Amino acid sequence: MNFLTILPMAVVMVAGTQLVAAVFLASADRPRAASLGYLAGAGLVVTGGVTASWSVTRAIKINVGVGGGRAVGSRIDLVVLALLGVLAVVVFLRRHTTGTPRWMSGLQRASPGYALRLGVLLFLAMPTDDLTMVTVGTSAARHGLPWWHLLPFVLLTLALLALPLLALLLLGHRAVAVLPRIRDWARQHSWVVSEVVIAFFVVLTAADLLR
């Protein structure tokens, strides 16, 4: 496994409410400032989340030592498989709850500070994000990947969240037609893509376990 393997999990991080919120912020009174604040908040949480799980798993491997390395590696794979199973169930159960929450109507007037807090709280409060961050950090540490290999995952997560802002910057007034399409896709189909990505990661982890 290398850092390219964990990149698809970034799709799971942003699917649904997270991307819908990014669309609303890109349509706010101060779209650039609000969107950048939102990205900053999300970046803090994602970086902290994957770093924490990577650090804990790495510490466990070091404490076990070389002699028990194979056994602890298998146990970590089992934990990752369990996390992926729970994540798949959570995504499936939430597939019909990705509509527009009432509180999003207030994002039109969101300040950068409010958007930053939203990014932090939204990514902390979402079970799918919490499970994904733990899975990614644990998997990276289990395979001996250095910490910086987590950065492409964080950057891709932020890049996907930035799509509405990029559409606004590149298309200008034409983004008015594009942004609702991004929002509607995130509502209706993102859970399917998430399940496919999770299944892909399950196959990779199971293959490691059977070696």
- Written in H, E and C, the secondary structure of the chain is CCHHHHCCHHHHHHCCHHHHHHHHHHCCCCHHHHHHHHHHHHHHHHHHHHHHHHHHHHHHHHHHCCCCHHHHHHHHHHHHHHHHHHHHHHHHHCCCCCCCCHHHHHHHHCCHHHHHHHHHHHHHHCHHHHHHHHHHHHHHHHCCCCHHHHHHHHHHHHHHHCHHHHHHHHHHHHHHHHHHHHHHHHHHCHHHHHHHHHHHHHHHHHHHHHC
Q: Tell me which of 110 and 54 has the higher pLDDT.
A: 54
Residue 118: the pLDDT is 92
- pLDDT confidence of 65, banded at 50, 70, 90? low
Mean pLDDT score, 10-23: 86
What's the structural domain count of the chain?
A: 1
Report whether pLDDT(4) > 70.
yes
Instruction: Note the pTM of the prediction, 2 decimals.
Output: 0.85
Residue 156: the pLDDT is 96
Report whether pLDDT(155) > 70.
yes
Residue 71: the pLDDT is 67
Residue 3: the pLDDT is 67
Q: Tell me which of 178 and 59 has the higher pLDDT.
A: 59
Which structural domain, as residue segments, surrounds residue 115?
A: 3-210
Mean pLDDT score, 35-62: 93
Mean pLDDT score, 126-148: 92
